[in-house]
Amino acid sequence: MIVIRQLLIIPLIFFSLTAFAQFTAAKHVIIVAIDGFRWQELFTGADSSILFDQLQVKDTAMMKSLFWHHDPIERRKKLMPFIWNYWASRGQLWGNQSLYSNVSVHNPYRLSYPGYHEMLNGFIDHRIKTNKPKKGKRDNILHTIASHDGFQGRVALFGSWERFNDMVDTGFVAVNAGYQLFETGTHGPDMRLANEAISHSSYKHLGTRPDMLTFSMAKDYMRAKHPRLLFIGLGETDEYAHQRQYDLYLNQAALIDKMLCELWTLIQHDPFYKDQTLLIVTTDHGRGRHRLNWHRHGIAVSGSREAWIMMIGAGVEPLGEMENTASVKLRQIPSLISNSLGLHYQPKHRVASSFIRLKPQSGTDHALSGNNKFSERK
């Protein structure tokens, strides 16, 4: 009986390894999260019901000249030209609810900490239902991959929101968040400037630093250290939304579009990353759907569960804007990351599977081929 069982197991293991190798698409993954950025602005541009409200936009004439067009296809290009003039024809965009592409958060709380936990862990922990810090909830996808051969010392997180410090084990992952200086290693000009700005800032009492500082630090770290898995958490969109400053919220979205363009340029001009990096951009939750509640999100605000996911790079077929797709959840992102790297993410909790299998790279060596360790369950 034992012999028979062993005979059955060996082909199964072989099949499993083959399947993973076949779908290895990327050697490196970079994830950018834009906190509380609505699918409505991403897919249809500025919302007329809010854009012309003088209580939420200081100079409506200026904002109209910058971001308004009666056609939503043209309007979204005004807000995020890199996404709609470049990314859309080379990558994938999931979550346009009007095209029946539904991406949503699975956790019922629809707040940032539960959203990031879902996005980084692949399951819902009902002890994390507010944004208050919780220690000991750190064994997520970043932590798991950072412990694999080839990834040790090569996983990092830069976040605008200070709470990221509570989400990741700094013993495994290089973490820098909130008004925290980055003090280790040799610094390039971007990191030096960001450190300088942080040390002289009058806003250290706030929980979220400017996204441009986070982005500058992440860029500098990429050039110097070449992390293989990098998470960049941007937070100002959520801050401006809560303040009901729709003009600043839109300006920040336009600025992030430029950051993504610069990030993609950096990736494609660095031989380490070029053509072998998967870039994923997503959000931690949606927001209210109307003029009077768009600034809010949470369990009682309809629309807060609506999210989106964009991908470009290694293994991503250029399908553009997705239509009529099965429902996708944020909790599927960890499996998307691990599958694309040829790894198997299996923590103690059952995790959601990926929503897509990425295309294998043709004619190139696989990211982690020859190392069977990566298929072992942890």
Q: How far is the CB of 168 from Zn ion (least distance, A)?
A: 20
All residues at 6 or more sequence positions from 2 whose CB lies less than 8 Å from its CB, including other chains? none
Residues that bind Zn ion (CB under 5 A): 36, 238
User: In the complex, which residue's CB is closest to Zn ion?
Assistant: 238
253 vs 336, which CB is nearer to Zn ion? 253
Q: How far is the CB of 305 from Zn ion (least distance, A)?
A: 14
195 vs 214, which CB is nearer to Zn ion? 214
Instruction: List strands edge to edge, sheet with 328-329.
Output: 306-307, 103-104, 328-329
Q: How far apart are CA 307 and CA 133, in angstroms?
A: 23
178 vs 315, which CB is nearer to Zn ion? 178
Q: How far is the CB of 316 from Zn ion (least distance, A)?
A: 29
162 vs 238, which CB is nearer to Zn ion? 238
Q: How far is the CB of 156 from Zn ion (least distance, A)?
A: 24
> Residue-wise over 269-281: b if at least 16 C-beta within 10 A, else e?
eeeebeebbbbbb
Q: Are 27 and 367 in contact (CB under 8 A)?
A: yes
36 vs 159, which CB is nearer to Zn ion? 36
Q: How far is the CB of 238 from Zn ion (least distance, A)?
A: 4
Strand pairing report for 229-234 and 28-34: parallel
258 vs 296, which CB is nearer to Zn ion? 296
Q: How far is the CB of 106 from Zn ion (least distance, A)?
A: 18
DSSP state letter for 161: B
Q: Which of 134, 133, 151 is nearest to 142 (CA)?
A: 151
β partners of residue 327: none
